[in-house]
Amino acid sequence: MQQTHKTLGEFIIENQSAFKYTSGELSRLINSIRLAAKVVNHEVNKAGLVDILGAAGDTNIQGEDQQKLDVYANKLFIQTLTNRNIVCGIASEEEDSFISINSQDEQHQNKYIVLIDPLDGSSNIDVNVSVGTIFSVYRRVTPLGTAVTLEDFLQKGSQQVAAGYVIYGTSTMLVYTTGCGVNGFTLNPAIGSFYLSHPNMQFPETGKIYSVNEGNYIHFPQGIKNYIKYCQMEEGDRPYTSRYIGSLVSDFHRNMIKGGIYLYPKSSKAGSGKLRLLYECNPMAFLAEQANGKASDGFTRILDIEPTELHQRVPFICGSRKMVEKAEEFMLKYS
Ligand SMILES: O=P(O)(O)OC[C@H]1O[C@](O)(COP(=O)(O)O)[C@@H](O)[C@@H]1O
Ligand SMILES: [Mg+2]
Ligand SMILES: [Mg+2]
């Protein structure tokens, strides 16, 4: 990475005023995510994976077998955000309930909460395929200096002040928004700095890639079945290419660069879909909209959904605006 690219730190300082929400505290929060991501990246890539690969032998509240790396990443992000005394609460895919971080000392009246999927794409961990981390940041709604409550976490996605992901792939990137566009930073592992490599990332208005687990096809609503057939027809700009990595972060990242649509619909197997609203769909939807893309459950804008519980799942359709609108047309017409 030539030195010409500015570092994440330089970018934040330069854009302090420009960002809609960036405050010094929020910048320190993003920097904490960056620090933790570097350590997780090291573990994901280091030779000594034997000690943190494989199943941890537990299951999380979702009933999913926890991989050691899920547990390791979860502990690391929670520790980093707690020790740097930047947030007043954390909710994680790997924790049954939210964690209240009470710092009673006066000067630390932290106002931000973080919801996190510490390791996204868990099924890829043992097979050396890219995985990610997803985070979502809100201002608390209950009084400063008190213990956070569930109300602080059950906010609509439209209330987010920041959201982003880390992708541990052929290179490691931090991609985030604070409400004024999406910027991507690539880690130069030789010196441990993230450099602005993808300024102002935008979804192409349309694309030729659709990402869905077609193994669930027979369980999909009729509208989704018909949309998938539409993608495969020899007509107009189609057939599209099917690309599905099995890691939301990786499929989203590729589609944002090349143009495409990601679908995880509800099905007779997964009644509300698989992805969690608060720490997967909302942050990815915020990023999508900030990059001129779109995200819905097939009918409702993801960022407008009123959350009812911490780990609730919703159907998720996200990507290039025209492709999402076409899928919504099929959902409206056939479901
Ligand atoms: O294997 P499936 O059912 O297609 O699900 C794949 C999806 O599940 C996920 O792995 C869910 O995320 P977690 O790995 O964090 O549980 C997404 O990253 C991915 O898009
Ligand atoms: Mg996930
Ligand atoms: Mg996960």
> In whole angstroms, what is the distance from residue 210 CA to residue 217 CA?
14
Q: Are 330 and 181 within one domain?
A: no
Q: Are 325 and 243 within one domain?
A: yes
Q: Which residues are annotated as a binding site?
A: 93, 117, 119-123, 213, 244, 262-264, 274, 280
Judge whether 204 lies within some domain: no
Judge whether 203 lies within some domain: no
ipTM at complex level: 0.98
Q: Are 278 and 131 within one domain?
A: no
Judge whether 96 lies within some domain: yes
For the domain that residue 99 is a member of, what is the CATH number?
Answer: 3.30.540.10
Q: Are 177 and 272 within one domain?
A: no
Average pLDDT, the chain: 89
Q: Are 182 and 280 within one domain?
A: no
Q: Are 108 and 217 within one domain?
A: no
What is the model's pLDDT at position 55? 57
Q: Are 248 and 269 within one domain?
A: yes
Mind listing the pLDDT tens digit for each residue in 77-100? 999 999 888 899 999 999 999 999
Please state the length of the chain.
335
Q: Are 62 and 171 within one domain?
A: yes
Which atom of ligand 1 is the closest one to the Cα of 262? Answer: 20
Judge whether 29 lies within some domain: yes
- Residue 49 — very low, low, confident or very high, per pLDDT cuts 50/70/90? very low
> In whole angstroms, what is the distance from residue 301 CA to residue 191 CA?
41
Q: Are 114 and 188 within one domain?
A: yes
Helices (H), 140-247: 150-153, 222-232
Contact 62, 311 (CB under 8 A): yes
From 198, 222, 239, give the residue that closes a domain: 198
Identity of residue 309? E
Contact 72, 52 (CB under 8 A): yes
Contact 199, 183 (CB under 8 A): yes
Distance 190 CA to ligand 3 centre (A): 28
Judge whether 63 lies within some domain: yes
Report CA Rg, the chain: 19
From 135, 167, 198, give the residue that closes a domain: 198
Q: Which residues line ligand 1 (CB under 6 A)?
A: 64, 93, 117, 120-123, 213, 246-248, 274
The residue range of the domain holding 125 is: 8-198
Mean per-residue pLDDT, 52-59: 61
DSSP 239-265: PPEE---S-HHHHHHHHHHH--EEEE-
Q: Are 29 and 82 within one domain?
A: yes
Count other C-beta atoms under 10 Å from residue 224's C-beta: 25
9-13, 28-32, 131-135, 175-179: range with lowest mean pLDDT: 9-13
Q: Which residues are annotated as a binding site for Mg(2+)?
A: 93, 117, 119-120, 280
Distance 305 CA to ligand 2 centre (A): 19
Q: Are 230 and 137 within one domain?
A: no
Nearest to 200 by CA among 183, 185, 177, 175: 183
What is the model's pLDDT at position 62? 74
Distance 246 CA to ligand 2 centre (A): 10
Distance 319 CA to ligand 2 centre (A): 17
> In whole angstroms, what is the distance from residue 139 CA to residue 111 CA?
6
What angle do helix axes 248-258 and 282-290 make, rounded to 10 degrees?
Answer: 10
Judge whether 3 lies within some domain: no
Which atom of ligand 1 is the closest one to the Cα of 119? Answer: 15
For the domain that residue 253 is a member of, what is the CATH number?
Answer: 3.40.190.80
DSSP 290-333: HTTEEEESSSSBGGG----STT-B--EEEEEHHHHHHHHHHHHH
Mind listing the pLDDT tens digit for each residue in 219-262? 999 999 999 999 999 999 999 999 999 999 999 999 999 999 99
Name the domain count of the chain. Answer: 2
From 167, 198, 229, give the residue that closes a domain: 198
Mean per-residue pLDDT, 54-69: 69
Q: Are 236 and 298 within one domain?
A: yes
Contact 34, 192 (CB under 8 A): no
Judge whether 154 lies within some domain: yes
Judge whether 73 lies within some domain: yes
Query: How much of the chain, in percent, has pLDDT values that exceed 90?
Result: 67
What is the model's pLDDT at position 232? 98
> In whole angstroms, what is the distance from residue 69 CA to residue 165 CA?
17
Mind listing the pLDDT tens digit for each residue in 157-188? 999 999 999 999 889 999 999 999 999 999 99
